[in-house]
């Protein structure tokens, strides 16, 4: 089986772990657990990035020695990930000698090849991003980051990045899924095609870094140091036979090469998709197989920031919901690769709906009552199998195959969609076959078949959901009376077509407490309060804000659903349901700011009716009212009227927003007549 090596970014230790860090690490853990279940030799790496100016400055600010500072700051990351049920095989710290040695080795290889040379750097450096930036990039920065940018003029070693543009483009061509999602890959290619400049890879104005071999006045640029962690953790670069993990888990150009997937946030894609493969190609080493860039999470619709008071550490969430529920929510709520929102209330919704009513109930309905009363708790042998059973088995087989396909493609949210098809089908099967009625009627034979099919579906689910819910699925298996999963190499435990029926009749189940007990409304409210999730968004707003944040936080929720992240998770609706929403082309005739509101604009819109309609839209932060006049927009025309700031609104203007662009109302390319139906 092809070895699988998955990594997370290594986290800066200038601050504490938050839910964004948890996101990358949980995703990598899900992929690693899945690969292990498929019987693949698997390695999962995470760790901390401990050098650089940002960390040196923070340590200084606190009056601490940088090493003592990072020694205190790194363990909370490890602990947070363990608490989240992440089962990593290695945790690397860039201040470890095993890492420093290998980074220097890679440097020496590049230096010996003439790809690193000494020069002078003059330009801007963003300490917040630990990144050299151009004049154009400087202008595009938000106020806060810009205020931290410094002018640098110092001797510096450069990496000949400019010489590797063609090699990179060729590599991309040969590896069409090197960067995912595809849209991000296009951005990377466009960046490289524009032409690359040599990259400054050392600094002399501070000392907290790995010394440049043979020139102690320089420390390495923190990204050169950090990116190499993926290789140093395996003991590479190394000659064949010197480092078994490196031999096994890093690609070397052979047909049975390991598959290496770097999970990263979209903000650090360029480092991973341009600089890192360029260093490796230059050194004559094989780049990783794939860099997967995930999106950014907002919290209850707001950008996460300490200044907003919504900087969410994972610990209290785990305490409130349990690690599995947090993991499940993170993987389920947001399409992996897209931006999304972490909304506390939505965690409860998914908990009660999908986990409690969907999965937990299925177990409860059969094991806790019928099986105990009718079969003494032992799994009965199925008797005659009919269409209903065949249908359920077909759903199970499809669900396992589709979920595996999506996990192979790093689409955990889609895998969960597929897995929950089986949860839904099994619940429907119970509803249709009505086992309680069979029990009442004394039809033990049919009841045996029904119970068996539900229990076997649950056993399949206990495997397929194990990467997401490792602890709950262990409880589920214990209740089913089957042994715990022990992911072992060369043992493919993922269910497949033909496997249905693997649960031995006679297995003694062990009913226990519900897997997902309900939170009563009072407890739910208390938890939300404790987690600070009830804070009105206004309270969390900073006095002075960054441009993007301003765009994001003012996005009116009803008018700008985050379609980019939610669309994939929503259940399909019938066409008949869709047509109930009366969407019309509207022409904005008048628009004025609503006094005393910093959000609302009052619009008079021609919808082809006798009189223009008054519609209030929360878009003032994104549009000058005057600029809206004459625009054609899409309006939900049959929305019940609602009052805002004492004014009635008779409809809703559709808009979309994302972190990168802010909010945009939906427009039309042609001058379609006002009132025309949109379908």
* Nearer of residues 265 and 335 to ligand MSP, judged by Cβ: 265
**Interface residue list for ligand MSP (CB under 6 A):** 9-12, 20-21, 23-24, 49, 226-227, 229, 264-265, 267-268, 296-297, 304
> Using N-to-C axis directions, what is the helix angle for 165-174 and 182-193, rounded to 10°?
150
- For residues 161 and 105, what is the distance between their CA atoms, to the nearest angstrom? 19
- Shortest Å distance, C-beta 250 to ligand MSP: 15
- Shortest Å distance, C-beta 7 to ligand MSP: 8
Please name the residues in contact with 111: beta carbons below 8 A apart, sequence gap of 6 or more: 213
Q: Is 242 exposed, middle or buried (0-12, 13-18, 19+ CB in 10 A)?
A: exposed
Which stretch of DSSP H or E encloses residue 345? Answer: helix 344-350
Q: Is 361 exposed, middle or buried (0-12, 13-18, 19+ CB in 10 A)?
A: middle
* Nearer of residues 299 and 438 to ligand MSP, judged by Cβ: 299
* Nearer of residues 23 and 34 to ligand MSP, judged by Cβ: 23
CA distances from 376 to 154, 476, 479, 480 (A): 79, 19, 14, 13
Please name the residues in contact with 443: beta carbons below 8 A apart, sequence gap of 6 or more: none
3-state secondary structure of 121: strand
Which stretch of DSSP H or E encloses residue 415? Answer: helix 412-433
CA distances from 43 to 296, 371, 412, 477, 483 (A): 25, 40, 18, 25, 24
- Shortest Å distance, C-beta 315 to ligand MSP: 16
- For residues 428 and 431, what is the distance between their CA atoms, to the nearest angstrom? 5
* Nearer of residues 293 and 400 to ligand MSP, judged by Cβ: 293
Identify whether the C-beta of residue 642 lies closer than 8 Å to the C-beta of residue 322.
Answer: no
- Shortest Å distance, C-beta 194 to ligand MSP: 23
* Nearer of residues 129 and 606 to ligand MSP, judged by Cβ: 129
- Shortest Å distance, C-beta 296 to ligand MSP: 4
* Nearer of residues 130 and 374 to ligand MSP, judged by Cβ: 130
Identify whether the C-beta of residue 451 lies closer than 8 Å to the C-beta of residue 379.
Answer: yes
* Nearer of residues 9 and 662 to ligand MSP, judged by Cβ: 9
- For residues 432 and 435, what is the distance between their CA atoms, to the nearest angstrom? 9
* Nearer of residues 115 and 130 to ligand MSP, judged by Cβ: 130
Q: Is 305 exposed, middle or buried (0-12, 13-18, 19+ CB in 10 A)?
A: middle
- For residues 346 and 333, what is the distance between their CA atoms, to the nearest angstrom? 9
* Nearer of residues 9 and 435 to ligand MSP, judged by Cβ: 9
- Shortest Å distance, C-beta 20 to ligand MSP: 2
- Shortest Å distance, C-beta 291 to ligand MSP: 11
- Shortest Å distance, C-beta 303 to ligand MSP: 7
Q: Retrieve residue 399's tokens.
A: 């669900």
* Nearer of residues 308 and 494 to ligand MSP, judged by Cβ: 308
User: For ligand MSP, which residue has the nearest CB?
Assistant: 265
First-to-last alpha carbon distance for the chain, in angstroms, is 49
Peptide bond into 237 cis (omega under 30): yes
State CA 587 to chain mean position distance. 39
Q: Retrieve residue 158's tokens.
A: 């450069």
3-state secondary structure of 181: coil
- Shortest Å distance, C-beta 665 to ligand MSP: 26
Closest CA to 267 of 617, 548, 36: 548
Peptide bond into 413 cis (omega under 30): no
- Shortest Å distance, C-beta 15 to ligand MSP: 8
* Nearer of residues 49 and 374 to ligand MSP, judged by Cβ: 49
- Shortest Å distance, C-beta 560 to ligand MSP: 19
- Shortest Å distance, C-beta 285 to ligand MSP: 16
3-state secondary structure of 562: coil
- Shortest Å distance, C-beta 316 to ligand MSP: 17
* Nearer of residues 66 and 380 to ligand MSP, judged by Cβ: 66
* Nearer of residues 304 and 454 to ligand MSP, judged by Cβ: 304
- For residues 565 and 582, what is the distance between their CA atoms, to the nearest angstrom? 24
3-state secondary structure of 435: helix
């Amino acid at each position: 089986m092809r070895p699988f090596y998955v990594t997370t970014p290594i986290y800066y230790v200038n601050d504490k772990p938050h839910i964004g860090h948890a996101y990358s690490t949980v995703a990598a853990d899900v992929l690693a657990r899945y690969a292990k279940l498929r019987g693949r030799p698997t390695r999962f790496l995470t760790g901390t990035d401990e050098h650089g100016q940002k960390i040196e400055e923070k340590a200084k600010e606190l009056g601490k020695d940088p090493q003592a500072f990072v020694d205190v700051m790194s363990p909370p990351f490890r602990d947070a990930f363990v608490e989240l049920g992440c089962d990593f095989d290695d945790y690397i710290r860039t201040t470890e000698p095993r890492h420093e040695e290998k980074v220097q080795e890679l440097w020496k290889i590049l230096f010996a090849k003439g790809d690193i040379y000494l020069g002078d750097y003059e330009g801007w450096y963003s300490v917040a991003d630990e990144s050299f930036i151009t004049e154009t990039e400087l202008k595009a920065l938000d106020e806060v980051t810009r205020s931290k940018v410094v002018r640098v003029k110092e001797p510096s070693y450069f990496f000949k990045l400019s010489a590797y543009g063609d090699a990179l483009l060729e590599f991309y061509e040969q590896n069409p899924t090197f960067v995912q999602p595809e849209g991000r890959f296009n951005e990377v290619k466009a960046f490289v095609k524009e032409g690359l400049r040599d990259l400054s890879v050392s600094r002399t104005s501070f000392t907290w870094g790995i010394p440049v071999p043979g020139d102690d006045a320089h420390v390495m640029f923190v990204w050169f140091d950090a990116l190499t962690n993926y290789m140093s953790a395996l003991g590479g670069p190394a000659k064949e036979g010197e480092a078994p993990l490196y031999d096994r888990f890093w690609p070397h150009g052979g047909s049975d090469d390991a598959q290496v997937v770097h999970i990263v946030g979209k903000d650090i894609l360029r480092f991973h998709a341009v600089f890192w493969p360029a260093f490796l190609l230059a050194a004559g080493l094989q780049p990783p197989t794939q860099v997967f860039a995930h999106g950014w999470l907002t919290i209850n619709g707001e950008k996460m920031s300490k200044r907003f008071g919504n900087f969410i550490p994972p610990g209290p969430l785990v305490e409130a919901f349990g690690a599995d529920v947090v993991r499940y929510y993170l993987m389920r709520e947001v399409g992996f690769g897209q931006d999304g929102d972490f909304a506390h209330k939505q965690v409860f919704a998914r908990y009660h709906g999908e986990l409690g009513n969907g999965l937990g109930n299925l177990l409860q309905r059969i094991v806790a009552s019928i099986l105990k009363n009718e079969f003494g708790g032992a799994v009965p042998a199925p008797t005659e199998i009919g269409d209903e059973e065949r249908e359920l088995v077909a759903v199970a087989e499809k669900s396992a195959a589709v979920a595996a396909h999506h996990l192979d493609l790093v689409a955990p949210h889609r895998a969960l969609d597929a897995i929950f098809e089986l949860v839904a089908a099994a619940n429907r099967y119970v509803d249709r076959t009505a086992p309680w009625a069979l029990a009442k009627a004394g039809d033990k034979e049919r009841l045996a078949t029904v119970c068996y099919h539900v229990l076997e579906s649950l056993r399949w689910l206990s495997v397929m959901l194990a990467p997401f819910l490792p602890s709950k699925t262990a409880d589920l298996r214990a209740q089913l009376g089957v042994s715990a999963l022990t992911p072992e190499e060369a043992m493919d435990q993922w269910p497949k077509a033909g496997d249905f029926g693997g649960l031995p009749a006679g297995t003694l189940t062990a009913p226990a407490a519900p897997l997902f007990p309900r939170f009563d409304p009072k407890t739910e409210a208390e938890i939300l309060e404790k987690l600070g999730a009830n804070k009105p968004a206004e309270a969390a707003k900073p006095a002075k804000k960054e441009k993007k944040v301003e765009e994001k936080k003012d996005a009116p929720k009803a008018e700008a659903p985050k379609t980019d992240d939610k669309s994939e998770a929503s259940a399909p609706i019938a066409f008949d349901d869709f047509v109930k929403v009366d969407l019309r082309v509207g022409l904005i005739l008048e628009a004025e700011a609503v006094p005393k509101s910093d959000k609302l604009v009052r619009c008079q819109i021609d919808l082809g009716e006798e009189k223009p309609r008054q519609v209030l839209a929360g878009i003032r932060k994104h549009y000058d009212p005057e600029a809206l006049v004459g625009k054609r927009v899409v309006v939900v025309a049959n929305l019940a009227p609602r009052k805002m700031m004492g004014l009635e609104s008779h409809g809703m203007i559709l808009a979309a927003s994302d972190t990168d662009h802010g909010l945009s109302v939906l427009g039309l390319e042609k001058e379609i007549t006002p009132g025309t139906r949109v379908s």
